[in-house]
């Protein structure tokens, strides 16, 4: 999976850009550059069985349960990954401001494998369909997920930020999410092995409304709580390939596109401190919730009919959450 934006640009951009709705520069300052370091994890997926072991030792209360790898195993193995957020803000007057933000995260990656004495299988509806995915001694599942997003917002301030103890702002804006995934299952009896590959793409264009509450007890310290939500139109694509007999036979090779409507929410809380006249430091926690996604592992089909794997399932859910810390420079 290729990176959409080189992560090395963080070193150049950390002094500039992104949580815009959080702070409000002093009166007379109209521009702000913001920069965040983010550290986030991807969670949540519908569970699907990937590999079973017919000789797996059974356990009381959950038997028979022969699953050795499933999709939740992979998502649970995702780590917190670093990234950055950059942006630019413009304050027209004490009541109106605008912002543009960009968030990029390093891809999440997970891998899990299993070994057995020719007792592993991918749970197809007909075990005679694939040779390498039945009575296998080796199985390895890999899952990668990559995310970035871009947003522009107009903010209407109902209290003078940085002056009043409480100030509330309304948010209206546009947002674009870019989400690519890759799933791979390799099975067989080495040296003979065959792959089951799935790639998905989500291109989500959305609108959002939100509120931002700032608490400003003194000129140096502030707290922020904000929430944004809205619908998005998702143009999705999924591609599948399944080989067999040491990848010399093609069982599946398809490509499908769909259009789906989903919803998302974005909530965060932060604390900030004005350390110099034009410099603010901040840090906090953020969580994004999505529905209506095309997720790679959820395209898996256990059927053996001619239409198997040719439908793009677009009802996936996902959560991204984690910490951020950064600075703002106003002028």
Asked if 181 and 191 touch (Cβ cutoff 8 Å), the reply is no
Based on the number of CB atoms within 10 Å of its own CB, is 172 exposed (0-12), middle (13-18) or buried (19 or more)?
middle
**pTM of this structure:** 0.85
At CA 74, angle to CA 184 and CA 118, rounded to 5?
60
**Which pair of structure tokens corresponds to residue 282?**
């901040």
Based on the number of CB atoms within 10 Å of its own CB, is 196 exposed (0-12), middle (13-18) or buried (19 or more)?
buried
Q: What are phi and psi of 143, to 5 degrees?
A: -145, 125
Helix (H, G, I), strand (E, B) or coil at 289: strand
Q: Residue 7 has what pLDDT? A: 41
Q: How far apart are CA 16 and CA 41, in angstroms?
A: 24
Q: How far apart are CA 271 and CA 217, in angstroms?
A: 12
> What residue ranges do the domains of the chain occupy?
7-330
Is the CA virtual torsion 151, 157, 161, 167 positive or negative? negative
Task: Show pLDDT as tens, one digit a residue, over the chain (331 residues).
Answer: 444 444 434 433 333 333 333 444 544 568 999 999 999 999 999 998 999 998 876 555 555 568 899 999 999 999 999 999 999 999 888 899 999 999 999 999 999 999 998 999 999 988 889 999 999 999 999 999 999 999 999 999 997 766 667 889 999 999 999 999 999 999 999 999 999 999 999 999 999 999 999 988 887 888 899 999 999 999 999 999 999 999 999 999 999 999 999 999 999 999 998 888 788 899 999 999 999 999 999 999 888 887 777 888 899 999 999 999 999 998 8
Q: What are phi and psi of 21, to 5 degrees?
A: -70, -10
| CATH number corresponding to 7-330 | 2.40.128.90
């Amino acid at each position: 999976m290729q990176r959409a934006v080189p992560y090395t640009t963080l070193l150049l951009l950390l002094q500039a850009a992104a949580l815009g709705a959080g702070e409000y520069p002093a009166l007379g300052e109209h521009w702000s550059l913001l920069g965040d370091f983010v550290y986030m994890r991807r969670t949540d997926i519908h569970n699907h069985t990937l590999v079973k072991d017919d000789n797996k030792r059974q356990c009381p209360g959950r038997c028979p349960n022969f699953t050795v790898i499933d999709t939740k195993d992979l998502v649970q193995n995702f780590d917190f990954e670093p990234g950055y957020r950059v942006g630019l803000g413009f304050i027209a007057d004490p009541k109106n401001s605008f912002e543009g933000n960009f968030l990029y995260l390093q891809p999440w990656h997970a891998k899990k494998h299993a070994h057995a004495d020719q007792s592993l299988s991918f749970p197809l509806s007909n075990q005679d369909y694939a040779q390498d995915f039945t009575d296998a001694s080796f199985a390895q599942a890999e899952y990668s997920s990559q995310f970035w997003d871009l947003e522009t917002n107009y903010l209407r301030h109902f209290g003078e930020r940085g002056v009043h103890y409480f100030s509330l702002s309304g948010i209206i804006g546009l947002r674009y999410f870019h989400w690519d995934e890759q799933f791979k299952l390799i099975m067989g009896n080495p040296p003979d092995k065959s792959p089951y590959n799935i790639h998905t793409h989500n291109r989500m264009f959305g609108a959002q409304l939100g509120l931002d509450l700032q608490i400003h007890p003194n000129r140096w310290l502030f707290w922020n709580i904000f929430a944004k939500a809205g619908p998005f139109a998702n143009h999705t694509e999924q591609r599948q390939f399944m080989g067999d007999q040491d990848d010399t036979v093609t069982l599946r090779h398809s490509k499908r596109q769909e259009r789906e409507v989903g919803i998302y929410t974005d909530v965060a809380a932060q604390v900030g401190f004005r350390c110099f006249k034009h410099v603010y430091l901040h840090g906090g926690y953020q969580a994004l919730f999505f529905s209506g996604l095309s997720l790679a592992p959820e395209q898996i089909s256990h059927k053996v009919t001619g239409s198997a794997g040719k439908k793009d399932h677009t009802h996936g859910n996902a959560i991204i959450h984690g910490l951020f810390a950064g600075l703002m420079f106003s002028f």
